[in-house]
Structure 1
Amino acid sequence: MDHRERQSVQHFDHCPWLFAEEATRAQRLAQQERQRAVGGDTEIGERCYVADSAAVFPDRLRLGDDSYIAAHAYVTGELTTGTDCTLNPFTTVRGTVTLGDGVRIGAHSSVLGFNHSMAPDRPVFQQPLTSRGINVGDDVWIGSHVVVVDGVTIGDHCVVGAGAVVTRDLPAWTVAAGNPARPIRDRRDRSAGPAGTPGDVANDLTRFADSARAQAADILARCWDGDRYVDRPGAVPTMRAHCDAVEIADLLLGSAPPQLAADEHVQRLSAAQDPVSGLVPELGEPLPSEDDGDDGDGDGDDGDGLTGDGAALYHILSVGYALDLLGASFPHPVPGVREMTAGQLLVRLESLPWRDNAWAAGAWIDAWATAAHWNLRHGEGGTSGSLEALFGWLLTRADPWTGMWGRPSAQAGRLQVVNGYYRLTRGSFAQFGVPVPDPERVVDTVLAHAHDARHFGAGQENACNVLDVAHPLWMCSRQLTTGTGGDGYRSADIRAWAERQLAAVLSAWRDGQGFGFGAAAVGPGPEPGLQGTEMWLAIVWYLADLLGRSDALGYRPRGVHRPEPGTVFPAPPHARPAPPGPGPGHPSTCA
């Protein structure tokens, strides 16, 4: 049996471009029968292929020569194509749709040439259907997971980036991306290949990074009020704003922010640490320990300030790593972590709000473990066995169905669980170089969450939610591919998500201002500022690295978002950060 005879119908359904060269005589005869069995008013040209697994139920179909409908595609209504057109696996084409010559539609895309009416006098399911039709010109590439809505015309030679939602006409030669899709450039302006090819992604990333570096000084100056850093003009000064400025300057300029000398940055940040608790309060606010006393439950919170999920706990991360980037460190250890016994830690872990606020539980572990990391810098690893107790508790409490801690809810879906997972693993497993449990289940859970329109629909995404998906995918994919030399678990799905996000992120940069955090209802809001810029710059790196193109950026996070572990576990006294190199990862989140 030769190579041609070994190829199955399922193989050709997914790779129909091979059919003309590799199909056997019996397979060609079966394909002719398949085409004759398509119902409706149908005319299919020469050398075409209609997958046996495709659901093709047209009222009228005109399939031009050398065109194909691949595996699990869904086609209804009136479809007319020119020559050399492809509907890749899981494509949906419905309503009235006309394609020119040489049109490529990526997997999982939907071209919907019809709509429901929305009059208020009756339920949606009783509304009549309308159809203005969709027209696509010649030589058009529609990427994976794109949606094209009724009434749209896409001109000749257009390229639509993966994950875009096309709601308006696109003129000829437009390269568009985002939700809703917006023109990025004219395709004729570049000699590189179409958007989405490796060379093109690299060029986009290089151009973005070069522009960000050129504008970094202006972005920092915009958020300096003459004495302190603010997140954005008009906001109040905060410790985090100062730390974000240090992170941005290190990433893009390779130096301290120019508003102060490096030693003055160190002095200000170091002086902010309370020598008794080891915590850093918000500017002008008291430490949590001033209101926190012994509640008699034996969980170790006897005024140590390690409560809640407020700024003082997050400053363990942000101020600590800002000092680290400046070549310094906290002047004092964090005694509340140093003195907590393994038993007290286990009581505290059990008391965290896993059921209804998994993010806060993960944030507490992030802060505690990061404080343990800094204490190791001081040669003060803490009470014997407490760090080991943390990993033991986490490893035995992970849900084997999700690989995570906490439970989803009807109101928020997996948001609390996934975002809490990021905070938890950032400070523990990633920071100490320990493999996470059940990485395949984590990938499944995170990808399912990433398709929840409540958090990733139009106008819903923000830096926290995207980072809290990107980093677990990055961390688990590295763990799953270590030593394999090939693709890992669900790598195609991960890359498709990363492509969509990257196209949207790069188009959101605002010259001279940076990135906004995201939706106005969460965090700092949509206005560009230091927090949004710092987080999205790191997110861009993780998305690019998921696509194997992070080298094109010319930067690599070294602070809160560093990809390498901060300390290899178990760490000896006076442990220093691990040298740069492959590692499970280590980024930050919003407080």
Structure 2
Amino acid sequence: MDHRQPPSAQPFDAADHPGHRGGLGPSVRFDHCPWLFEKEATEEQRAAQRERQRSLDGDSEVGEGCYVAESAAVLPDLLRLGDDSYIAAHAYVTGTLTTGTDCTLNPFTVVRGTVSLGTGVRVGAHTSLLAFNHSTAPDRPIHRQPQTSRGITVGDDVWIGSHVVVVDGVTIGDHCVIGAGAVVTKDVPAWTVAAGNPARRIRDRREPAGRRRETGGADREATGPDVLAGFADTARAQAADLLARSWNGDRYTDRPGVAPTVRAHCDAVEIADLLLSSAPAQLDRAEHIERLTSLQDPETGLVPELGERPPPMDADGFTGEGPALYHVLSVGYALDLLGAAFPRPVRGVRDMTAPQLVARLERLPWRDQAWTAGAWIDSWATAAHWNLRHPDGAGLAPGTLEALFGWLLTRADPWTGMWGSPSGSAGRLQVVNGYYRLTRGSFAQFGVPAPHPERVVDAVLDHARDTRYFGAGRENACNVLDVAHPLWLCARQSGLGGGGEGGYRSAEIRGWAEQRLTAVLARWQDGRGFGFGPGTAGPGPEPGLQGTEMWLAIVWLLADLLGRSEALGYRPRGVHRPEPAAGA
């Protein structure tokens, strides 16, 4: 580089150091120093830049205050450039690139494949983010090998120095710094300062530079035992106020200002049991039991939503949709935690024959709604579990439970270990989320090993790199739970060695769990708990009972994948219990 190279490029390259004007023409100067454009550009130059942005290839959207260098080869299939971001001179961009606000690709950067950048990301000159790879089978030359792509995800507030290479499949967590010349081949947890080839952790960014802690490696992690114990202590200390916040004087609401629901009452019971080892204080235990048991419809054995009629039954005697399906789980386990049970069996499951069940399984929407199919099985199998425990002894028709597991074991895809098909629009979302619901109610609840566990780990880790659901600021409780539980379940099956060292893809599992756990712990809001997640899915971002109940279980699963769950001092016993249910 000549004298115009920013002096901070050693050992890290500054992303937006003021440039030297010298005698360069305005287009060259702005291309290399685009941070000058907003202050110095003429109206004619601004018009030319707007035309440049309009003429970009592919499905491209460029935010306000952005700059795309004329000399950059920007040839995307899809580009979403957030406000106040720029692509500088001679950058090469193909594939799918999405960024948050205030992101910078400095001169000669290369971005290829599917890459997601969070907010405030600085990518130094001559750095390559290569989100694709070639297969290397020996049966054909490399240039004839098919390409694969898992994507690269970079979180918020990240500085990637000059001449860095980030390879396909890597996630770099929030607040990281990657030193100049590093080759990043593995996930980098949040707050990490990393450098080298291959890149290795130097320190936690929150530690003073040049000083290392003298404690063990786990204690240096942002999710070490001390941090987890402190989080759990905070949650326990605030649990009573959090529950009181969602009590409207008569019933539980997910959060203040919304209507009461059956699930809100059940979530309150789960949170109180998990954190306080007691029933919620708004009612005594007997009153909780009476409230919940009185909700069961005497004819069907199902629990409709408050103020609603029981759902219509299908020809085989069981319902196919609606909140009553999930209430089989939530009310059943809330009563179980309170030391009680449904007073009546679930009639449609009790009376369904094995041929009727198989016919229903064949009709479920596996092709395009695998989550709906998995949720139905979760509800049916959980109702079977409660019926088998019911004191009247008439739990199920002969052979139905065997028919369920026989059908599932013979229909699992041996390449993924799952049921259903991915789609071009949603990827593996329906399949993975459906797998969680299906296996939660069947294999996990009844203690039966799930088929093809290594293939499941492959499929789930591949899905976990989909930036549409796991990009910065896009995670919700369902999507994280539906990855964490399958990884936990399959990592503990025979031959996989768990999530510890030496297990199947254990380093990747642990890296993913570390990043998610760091992010989750930072989302707790004092006195309010956890929000479900961004966007309009589920209850949304406002903290409430559902988000708190789900994320508390997720924290345990992630911590257990890392071998640190004992530090939390709690273990889920309800809907999200890790071991088979008692009596299953």
- Report the TM-score when normalising by structure 2: 0.68
* Mapped partners of 1:487, 1:364: distance in 2: 36
Task: Report the equivalent of 1:409.
Answer: 423
Task: Report the equivalent of 2:253.
Answer: 230
Letter in 2 for 1:545: D
Task: Report the equivalent of 1:283.
Answer: 306
Of 364, 372, 378, the residue aligned with 1:352 is 364
* Mapped partners of 1:150, 1:505: distance in 2: 17
1:561 and 2:576 correspond: yes
Q: Is the 8 A contact 2:156 2:173 kept in 1?
A: no
- Report the TM-score when normalising by structure 1: 0.67
Matches within 5 A, 1:243-322: 243-289=266-312, 292=313, 294=315, 300-301=316-317, 304=318, 306-308=319-321, 310-322=322-334
Letter in 1 for 2:53: P
The number of equivalent residue pairs is: 439
* Mapped partners of 1:150, 1:222: distance in 2: 34
SS in 2 for 1:288: coil
* Mapped partners of 2:221, 2:207: distance in 1: 19
1:423 and 2:437 correspond: yes
Q: Is the 8 A contact 2:269 2:279 kept in 1?
A: yes
Shift of 1:543: 0.1
* Mapped partners of 2:477, 2:513: distance in 1: 14
SS in 2 for 1:336: helix
Evaluate the alpha carbon distance shift between residue 521 and residue 483 of structure 1 in structure 2; reply closer, same or farther with a 3 A threshold: closer
Deviations 1:315-344 (A, max 9, x none): 000000000000001111011111111100
* Mapped partners of 2:569, 2:443: distance in 1: 27
Shift of 1:200: 5.8
- Percent of aligned pairs with the same residue? 63
Shift of 1:201: 1.0
1:526 and 2:541 correspond: yes
Letter in 2 for 1:531: Q
Letter in 2 for 1:123: L
Of 544, 547, 551, the residue aligned with 1:536 is 551
Q: Is the 8 A contact 1:220 1:257 kept in 2?
A: yes
Evaluate the alpha carbon distance shift between residue 330 and residue 311 of structure 1 in structure 2; reply closer, same or farther with a 3 A threshold: same
Letter in 2 for 1:354: W
Evaluate the alpha carbon distance shift between residue 216 and residue 185 of structure 1 in structure 2; reply closer, same or farther with a 3 A threshold: farther
Deviations 1:52-111 (A, max 9, x none): xxxxxxx79xxxxxxxxxxxxxxxx999666xxxxxxxxxx999799xxxxxxxxxxxxx
* Mapped partners of 2:216, 2:543: distance in 1: 31
1:399 and 2:413 correspond: yes
Letter in 1 for 2:174: V
Shift of 1:195: 7.7
Matches within 5 A, 1:422-571: 422-481=436-495, 487-567=502-582
Shift of 1:122: 3.5
Matches within 5 A, 1:366-377: 366-377=378-389
Letter in 1 for 2:353: T
Deviations 1:129-170 (A, max 9, x none): 4638879xxxxxxxxx9848999599xxxxxxx84234999x
1:384 and 2:384 correspond: no
Evaluate the alpha carbon distance shift between residue 318 and residue 417 of structure 1 in structure 2; reply closer, same or farther with a 3 A threshold: same
Matches within 5 A, 1:182-201: 197=220, 201=224
Evaluate the alpha carbon distance shift between residue 454 and residue 147 of structure 1 in structure 2; reply closer, same or farther with a 3 A threshold: closer
Evaluate the alpha carbon distance shift between residue 121 and residue 78 of structure 1 in structure 2; reply closer, same or farther with a 3 A threshold: farther
Letter in 2 for 1:528: P
Of 80, 94, 106, the residue aligned with 1:131 is 106
Evaluate the alpha carbon distance shift between residue 348 and residue 549 of structure 1 in structure 2; reply closer, same or farther with a 3 A threshold: same
SS in 2 for 1:396: helix
Deviations 1:184-212 (A, max 9, x none): 96669987567874696111101100000
Deviations 1:388-434 (A, max 9, x none): 00000000000011100000000000000000000000000000000
Q: Is the 8 A contact 1:342 1:386 kept in 2?
A: yes
Evaluate the alpha carbon distance shift between residue 184 and residue 543 of structure 1 in structure 2; reply closer, same or farther with a 3 A threshold: farther
Shift of 1:123: 1.9
- Alignment RMSD: 3.8
Letter in 2 for 1:552: A
Evaluate the alpha carbon distance shift between residue 79 and residue 481 of structure 1 in structure 2; reply closer, same or farther with a 3 A threshold: farther
Deviations 1:530-560 (A, max 9, x none): 0000000000000000000000000000001
Evaluate the alpha carbon distance shift between residue 262 and residue 539 of structure 1 in structure 2; reply closer, same or farther with a 3 A threshold: same
Q: Is the 8 A contact 1:238 1:282 kept in 2?
A: yes
Evaluate the alpha carbon distance shift between residue 359 and residue 147 of structure 1 in structure 2; reply closer, same or farther with a 3 A threshold: closer
Letter in 2 for 1:366: D
* Mapped partners of 1:214, 1:367: distance in 2: 34
* Mapped partners of 2:207, 2:176: distance in 1: 19
Letter in 1 for 2:106: S
Q: Is the 8 A contact 2:520 2:551 kept in 1?
A: yes
Evaluate the alpha carbon distance shift between residue 317 and residue 150 of structure 1 in structure 2; reply closer, same or farther with a 3 A threshold: closer
* Mapped partners of 2:516, 2:291: distance in 1: 37
